[in-house]
Amino acid sequence: MTKQEFLNNTPFKIKGSGYNGSPTYKYFLYDSDAVWDNKDGEGQRNGMIVEQIRSSIDGRIIDSHYRLNVSSIGHVSINGFTHVMNKEVKVSIRFDEMLIHDNEVVMPDSIV
């Protein structure tokens, strides 16, 4: 996956999670006007990763929910964080570890 595909909200899987019905993920921008300058003087967006729970029968999205805050988007990876049991957990995911999910089946009432 490329950085631009990530920013275009292309659904993806993480390398190694290819079983039928495995969750997919999607970048979601909180507010399209929420852009500020980071330490390098580049525009930074405020967003999150949404996890899409999929049916193991037909792959359609049956639920979606917040998974991770995105703190920065670089040239080769994203950095993010979430909280587990009152502890902050930081992660870095490279774009080459994100595999485009090309079998998009969405329920009509899906919000993401």
Show Cβ contacts of residue 54 under 8 Å, excluding neighbours closer than 6 positions.
21, 22, 23, 24, 60, 61, 62
User: Torsion angle of alpha carbons 33, 4, 6, 37, nearest 10°?
Assistant: -40
Residue 4 backbone dihedrals phi, psi, to 5 degrees: -65, -40
Confidence check: pLDDT of 11 > 70 = yes
Q: How far apart are CA 110 and CA 112, in angstroms?
A: 6
- pLDDT tier for residue 107 given thresholds of 50, 70 and 90: very low
pLDDT in tens, 70-89: 988 999 999 999 999 999 99
What are the structural domain ranges in the chain? 3-100
Share of the chain above pLDDT 90, in %: 45
The structure's pTM equals 0.75
